[in-house]
Chain A
Amino acid sequence: MSTIYILWLRQVKKYFRAKSRIIGSLGQPLLFLLVFGFGFGSIFQQAGQGNYIQFLTSGIIMMSVLFTAIFSGIDLIWDKQFGFLKETMVAPVPRWQIMLGKTVGGATVASIQGVIVFVLALFVGFKISDPLMLPIALLFIILIALLFTSLGVAIASIIEDMQGFQLIMNFMVMPIFFLSGALFPLQGLPTALEVITRFDPLTYGVDGIRSALGGSGSFGIGMDMMVIVIVAVIFLGVGTYLFEKIQA
């Protein structure tokens, strides 16, 4: 327990210390909310889809959770590169505890980031329809954060340096984001594309939080939750397995 705690603490402390990074990482979601929100707002309305900010906020919260979570997991590469991982690896504790502490820490940071974006959205004009559903929305944030932090750790366990990183951003993280229904409704897409969106775990996160925050979801909260929990458990398992295989 103390192992998981100290790894969690390290992650959270570092987050709060890097104030400029917090502000920097909030710039992007805010920009998306303002530019897309107001830019496409009238077209969205004319297409009969209602208020775009109401629609977009869920997507931007999840975008921010996705990015922060993946980065928090992947920053394991820095520990690898700059030697600190070795110090952790010679400690007489099971590696799964190290992996779990790191993942829970990264997920905490990503969840905080998601909540901050939610609060920012309120200032941009987002309206909550049912405050009682907020805990459900938070639960979706936490689960998606856990899922993608585990994925980040899994990736960082197998790649050696930051050179592979650009590849992951462009061929994995961006598609996960764009194909999740964060920016546009998934109804009426070409079949092939629609099938792909069904394999994107973020789709269920966006759908779930959108339902919880009063929008119309496609799959139902129960289904969304189930898919995310299953995928999160799988990723956590894979992440742990790959992490245990790391040799310094």
Chain B
Amino acid sequence: MASNLNDINIISISGLTKRFKDFVAVDNISFDVKKGEIFAFLGPNGAGKSTTIKMLTTLLEPTNGRVTINGHDPKNNKNAVRKSFGIVFQDPSLDIDMTALENLQYHAVLFKIPVDIRKKRIEELLRFVELWDRKNDMVKTFSGGMKRRLEMARGLLHHPKIIFLDEPTLGLDPQTRNHIWNYLLEINRKEGMTIFFSTHYMEEAEKVAQRIAIIDRGRIVAIGSAAELEEKTKTHTLEEAYIALTGSVIREEQVNGSDRMRLMGRMMGRN
């Protein structure tokens, strides 16, 4: 893997490690994602999925290891990496005191989308996620599904080469999930956008992902297509393969102050 043929691997990770004080969240993981691939990242709660995604998206400095995103190293070329990807975070990340349109305009300015195409593209995406009629409404009046759709539109606004989706369909009804996936798959087909997503819905991963990596306790325990994972574990569905690989013990997620606060905020109705 050391001799990459130019940019076949749009994401390449080797020896990636993140240590928080005495806790190793991500433990020496290595894998590559090919350009245009649809890649699922599965694992129990607290296995290291979000921490990995944060390191891939410049939000967190790795303790050790190397990452290359679209040919750039997040360590010394953060902004080139940031231009390459869009992201839908696991937690809500909209400004609920702004309108849908304003949230997208903010993003368009920060991502330096030229003024002349900005308007057209925002309209296009808002229409697609069926929020165009609500464009001037405050995000705080939106339902969970609407917020998710808006985040999706925002993540795609600057036409990224890679989209990271951290449990993008959590809490969405099947209609919305289908709608979102159809659109993502279409962009994937048309523009070769790489999709890197984490999910707890096994049938979702089985249906759309070309390759799946399973992470547990910070380590990659298996990687391959759904069929390969099933074969390896001598099971018939991805869900069975997943359970076989990660065991059936329920995991407690480590909760920090900021998660607690977010939860509180959600209860207070801020999100």
Residues of B within 8 Å of A87, CB to CB, are 89, 93-94, 107, 154
> What string of 1s and 0s marks CB contacts (under 8 Å) between A1-41 and chain B?
01101100010011001100000000000000000000000
B119 beta carbon closer than 8 Å to chain A: no
**Residues in B51-88 with C-beta less than 8 Å from chain A:** 54, 57-61, 78-80, 82-83, 85, 87
- The CA-CA distance from A83 to B107 in the complex, in Å, is 14
B144 beta carbon closer than 8 Å to chain A: no
Write the nearest CB–CB distance from A48 to chain B, whole angstroms. 50
Is the pair B93, A91 in contact by a Cβ cutoff of 8 Å? Answer: no
Write the nearest CB–CB distance from B236 to chain A, whole angstroms. 38
Q: Within the complex, which residue of A13, A17, A79, A93 is in contact with B110, where a contact is CB–CB below 8 Å?
A: A93
Q: Within the complex, which residue of B98, B111, B256, B262 is in contact with A82, where a contact is CB–CB below 8 Å?
A: B262
A86 beta carbon closer than 8 Å to chain B: yes
Write the nearest CB–CB distance from A15 to chain B, whole angstroms. 11
Interface size class, chain B: 35 or more
Residues A3 and B258 in contact in the complex (CB < 8 Å), given A82-B92, A86-B93, A248-B59: no
Residues A90 and B109 in contact in the complex (CB < 8 Å), given A80-B258, A82-B96, A160-B257: no
Q: Within the complex, which residue of B60, B97, B110, B260 is in contact with A88, where a contact is CB–CB below 8 Å?
A: B110
B112 beta carbon closer than 8 Å to chain A: yes
A81 beta carbon closer than 8 Å to chain B: yes
Is the pair A248, B109 in contact by a Cβ cutoff of 8 Å? Answer: no
- The CA-CA distance from A46 to B68 in the complex, in Å, is 75
Residues of B within 8 Å of A247, CB to CB, are 59-61
Is the pair A86, B109 in contact by a Cβ cutoff of 8 Å? Answer: no
A92 beta carbon closer than 8 Å to chain B: yes
B265 beta carbon closer than 8 Å to chain A: yes
Is the pair B111, A91 in contact by a Cβ cutoff of 8 Å? Answer: yes
Residues A2 and B109 in contact in the complex (CB < 8 Å), given A92-B82, A161-B258: yes
Residues A92 and B112 in contact in the complex (CB < 8 Å), given A81-B258, A87-B93, A161-B261: yes
Number of interface residues of A (CB under 8 A): 30
Residues of B within 8 Å of A83, CB to CB, are 89, 91-94, 262, 271
> What string of 1s and 0s marks CB contacts (under 8 Å) between A47-84 and chain B?
00000000000000000000000000000000111111
A162 beta carbon closer than 8 Å to chain B: yes
**Residues in B209-268 with C-beta less than 8 Å from chain A:** 256-258, 260-262, 265
Write the nearest CB–CB distance from A99 to chain B, whole angstroms. 14
Residues of B within 8 Å of A92, CB to CB, are 78-80, 82-83, 110-112
Q: Most chain-B Cβ atoms within 10 A of its Cβ — which of A90, A93, A94, A161?
A: A90
Write the nearest CB–CB distance from A186 to chain B, whole angstroms. 40
Residues of B within 8 Å of A10, CB to CB, are 95, 98, 102, 106
A residues near B (Cβ < 8 Å) are 2-3, 5-6, 10, 13-14, 17-18, 79-84, 86-94, 160-163, 247-248
What are 17 A-to-B residue pairs whose CB atoms are below 8 Å?
A: A10-B106, A14-B97, A14-B98, A81-B258, A82-B96, A82-B262, A82-B265, A82-B270, A84-B95, A86-B93, A87-B154, A91-B82, A91-B111, A92-B110, A92-B112, A160-B258, A248-B54
User: 4 closest A-B pairs (Cβ-Cβ)?
Assistant: A91-B110, A83-B93, A92-B82, A248-B59
